[in-house]
Amino acid sequence: MTTHPTTTSPIRAACAAILSLGALAAAVPASAQSGDTFKLGIIAPMSGPNARYGAFANKGAALAAAEINAAGGLLGKKVQLVSGDSQCVPAEGVAATQRMISLEKTPIIIGDVCSSVTLAMQPLVEESKVLLVNAASSNPDITYKAGVGGFKWTFRNYPTDEVRAATVLEYASKTKGFKKFAVLSVDSDYGRGAIKFTKRYLPKYEGAEILSEDYYKDSETDFRSVLSKIRRSGAQAIFLYGQADTTPIIARQMLELGLAGKVALVGNGEFNTKETIAAAPKVMNGAVEAAAWLPEVPAPRSLKFVEDYKKANGGEMPNNHAYTHYDTVQLIAQAVKSANSLKGEDVRNALARIKYESPMGTVVFDDHNQAVMPMVLLEITDGKPEIKGMIATKVDYSAAAAAAK
Amino acid sequence: MGSFLLEQIVNGIITGSVYALVAAGMTMIFGVLRAINFAHGEYYMLGTFAAWWVMTKLSADYSLAIVGGVLIVSLIAVLIGRTVMQRLIGQPFQAGVLATLGLSLILQNIVILAFGGGYKVFNGGWIEPIELGDFGMSQQRVILVVVTLAVFAGLEWMVRSTRLGRSIRAVSQNIECCQVNGIDVEQVVRKTFLIGVAIAALSGILTGPINVSIYGGMGESITLKTFAVIVMGGMGNVRGTLIAGCLLGVIESLVAGFIGLQYRDSVGFVVLLLMLMLRPHGLFSSKARF
């Protein structure tokens, strides 16, 4: 094809530009390391079906970093966030973590949102002696494997699904009086983990039974077949531990199948956001969720976070992950100050002993490096989330081991 | 049990009609270009986004958004048809793979760049349930099936009875002969591409109210399912596509309803493998093209 001879020169120019950018990027880590900045890593899904989690996580962390820097930084150094994309895929998350550790040399990494990725990152940070502070994964195995369980370099500043599953089950059985349940959760370590622990505690409630069990892929949009099955099974409630963006699809299709008001959603998956409720208000009324945080939490510092976040991000409402990443950066900052060091090992030791006042309440870590922190139990009433109680996410490991037998 | 089976079959036909609509365009484009359009799911996604944009930014209602969405995506199709697709005539298949895969990435990322990577809520549509004896479904789904049948009837008529249809059939049989006989092959390719893309966009807009959450990467999974449909239907066979699409939808529904939702996505790939192993020319006669 000789009809477009002019196209070659822009391509060459672009290639040259890309090459020089690459050289620039390669030069950055070496020079920034010696400067007055402290690099804090964040691994989160920035692309793919879970990209919005990563966007919220990074914006929340950026707000915390800006606050810390405005107040003089950490031990005289400015906090600089470096971000890696996990795509919510374990292999991608591990690759991004490896790049971050070897190129950026971050002593501390916050990550990931998706449990499957966090589980894959744990052995890697252990080997590299990099401190991993998780701010958004809830699979119970993450902390079963941490602290006295093995991995010394993993901490989790987020509720574990063990407590979440037990609390939701308790409320659904005792307060709501449900006995017949169906399972419809996301097919991941998060969704399956939550159900594993729900089943572990189910025998405590007389007559409670699970009638059907289904897991969906995170790009699934057609739930009619499985919802038809659930409707015919006579289930009173669905254990839904799902992705935030799928909840409106399920709710809308439940409305279609005439399940509104007949079958309740219980579990977790951003049931409380305005958008989700608006997708099918009749279905969402009566939904029960245990969440790490929601914008309606009446604590003054939490409300201030919502205001500051909205101001910094063009009026966008923060979600759960924005808050937990904001909070985790603040937690790390306090640990750095009490350790009076930016070294991963010193900060790790400080975290184990820390008593941190988060906007939600006091946070301490148990011997599995799991945060014992407040979590919110809520029910959607008249189209609005109503807080039904605060739960301390304290795991009784010996009782849990007994229940597992 | 009987009514549960019936309900799952109905569910499957509804899902399948979306597959069939998207696959119809893909199979026609394959017919004239001998190239798999890896970007086809993106036009489905673009349609949904265009309609969403018309509704939220221009605050138009859904029926207007259907028209507006199809128009916007058709304009994009005219542009891509001229700049990319018509140049694939007579090129080796690798060129088609690279060009359409590249387009897929570009289109997805333009949408993510313009509207952000997060999900958007697609409001609008006719989502109130209709009770059909034992089970309910939204009006939107009924519309979807009716439109699918109408589109396929229209395609059938177009392919059999119009000059464009005859030239599409001719081009899909032998490009050189068409060129010798004075058929403007480039124009036929452009028009076929435009029709295929417009149908994909329409199916995206019609499923928007049911799927609610829309995002830049939503076209990928539909492209993958479409492969199974066009292979089942016979590459280039429009009528076969309708039956194959509905068949895939029904099998998926039965698997999700009787075995488990987690196995649903494997159906398409198992079907694809079986077809390629046992009947690579499709379920129907290899002579049945158009």
Same domain assignment for residues A112 and A146: yes
Q: Confidence band (pLDDT; 50, 70, 90) for A209?
A: very high
Q: Confidence band (pLDDT; 50, 70, 90) for A25?
A: very low
pLDDT of residue A389: 87
pLDDT of residue A307: 96
pLDDT of residue A393: 77
When pLDDT is averaged across residues B99-112 and rounded to a whole number, the result is 91
Question: Is A4 within the bounds of a domain?
Answer: no
When pLDDT is averaged across residues A135-163 and rounded to a whole number, the result is 93
Interface confidence, given as ipTM, is 0.84
pLDDT of residue A5: 39
pLDDT of residue A221: 87
Same domain assignment for residues A323 and A181: no
The values of phi and psi at residue A370, to 5°, are -95, 130
**A233-274, pLDDT tens digit by residue?**
999 999 999 988 899 999 989 988 889 899 999 999 989 988
Question: Is A26 within the bounds of a domain?
Answer: no
A229 conformational bin, left if phi > 0, alpha if psi -120 to 50, beta if neither: alpha
pLDDT of residue B174: 87
Q: Confidence band (pLDDT; 50, 70, 90) for A21?
A: very low
pLDDT of residue B287: 59
Same domain assignment for residues A45 and A111: yes
**B27-47, pLDDT tens digit by residue?**
999 988 888 899 999 999 999
- Option in A48, A229, A249 nearest B213 (CB): A249
Q: Do B117 and A224 touch (CB under 8 A)?
A: no
- Option in A220, A224, A255 nearest B11 (CB): A224
Same domain assignment for residues A286 and A380: yes
Q: Which residues of B touch A3 (CB under 8 A)?
A: none
Q: Confidence band (pLDDT; 50, 70, 90) for B289?
A: low
Q: Percentage of residues in chain B with pLDDT exceeding 70?
A: 96
Residue of B nearest to A191 (CA): B262
**Distances A225 to A243, A352, B98, B160, B223 between C-alpha atoms, Å:** 19, 48, 37, 37, 21
- Option in A215, A225, A252 nearest B257 (CB): A225
Q: Confidence band (pLDDT; 50, 70, 90) for B286?
A: low
Looking at every residue in chain A, the average pLDDT score rounds to 88
**B155-180, pLDDT tens digit by residue?**
999 988 999 999 998 998 888 889 89
pLDDT of residue A363: 94
Question: Is A316 within the bounds of a domain?
Answer: yes
Tell me the count of A-B CB pairs closer than 8 A: 116
Same domain assignment for residues A246 and A386: yes
Q: Do B252 and A220 touch (CB under 8 A)?
A: no
Same domain assignment for residues A266 and A396: yes
Same domain assignment for residues A154 and A166: no
Top residue of A53, A83, A221, A317 to mutate, by most chain B CBs within 10 Å, is A221
Q: Confidence band (pLDDT; 50, 70, 90) for A1?
A: very low
- Option in B117, B127, B131 nearest A51 (CB): B117
Cα dihedral A165, A168, A171, A174 sign? negative
Closest listed residue to residue A251, CA positions, set A232, A269, A229: A269
Whether B215 has a pLDDT exceeding 50, the answer reads yes
Q: Which residues of A touch B15 (CB under 8 A)?
A: 222, 224
Q: Do A224 and B262 touch (CB under 8 A)?
A: no
In chain B, domain spans: 2-123+135-288
CATH architecture designation of domain B2-123+135-288: Orthogonal Bundle (1.10)
Same domain assignment for residues A46 and A129: yes
Q: Do B4 and A187 touch (CB under 8 A)?
A: no
Q: Which residues of A touch B217 (CB under 8 A)?
A: 47-49, 219
Q: Confidence band (pLDDT; 50, 70, 90) for B220?
A: confident
pLDDT of residue A70: 95
When pLDDT is averaged across residues B93-119 and rounded to a whole number, the result is 88
Same domain assignment for residues A172 and A281: yes
Q: Percentage of residues in chain A with pLDDT exceeding 90?
A: 72
The answer to whether the CB of A107 falls within 8 A of the CB of A342 is: yes
Whether A30 has a pLDDT exceeding 60, the answer reads no
Separation in Å, CA of A297 to nearest CA in chain B: 24
Residue A283 domain boundaries: 162-291+376-404
Q: Do B4 and A275 touch (CB under 8 A)?
A: no
The number of beta carbons lying within 10 Å of the beta carbon of residue B78 is 15
When pLDDT is averaged across residues B253-278 and rounded to a whole number, the result is 90
Same domain assignment for residues A280 and A315: no
The number of domains in chain A is: 2
When pLDDT is averaged across residues A293-298 and rounded to a whole number, the result is 91
**A366-403, pLDDT tens digit by residue?**
999 999 999 999 999 999 999 998 888 788 887 777 76
- Option in A187, A248, A256 nearest B137 (CB): A256
Same domain assignment for residues A143 and A84: yes
Vertex B35: Cα angle to B216 and B101 (nearest 5) = 30
Q: Confidence band (pLDDT; 50, 70, 90) for B133?
A: low
Question: Which residues of A touch chain B, with CB atoms under 8 Å apart?
Answer: 46-49, 51-52, 54-55, 184, 187, 213-217, 219-226, 228-229, 232, 245-246, 248-249, 252-253, 255-258, 275, 278-279
Cα dihedral A231, A232, A237, A239 sign? negative
Q: Is A126 helix (H, G, I), strand (E, B) or coil?
A: helix
Same domain assignment for residues A262 and A143: no
The number of beta carbons lying within 10 Å of the beta carbon of residue B102 is 13
Whether B199 has a pLDDT exceeding 90, the answer reads yes
Q: Do B256 and A226 touch (CB under 8 A)?
A: yes
Whether B3 has a pLDDT exceeding 60, the answer reads yes
What is the domain-level CATH number for residue A65?
A: 3.40.50.2300
Question: Is A41 within the bounds of a domain?
Answer: yes
pLDDT of residue B123: 83
What residues have CB less than 8 Å from B223, skipping those under 6 apart?
B38, B39, B40, B41, B42, B104
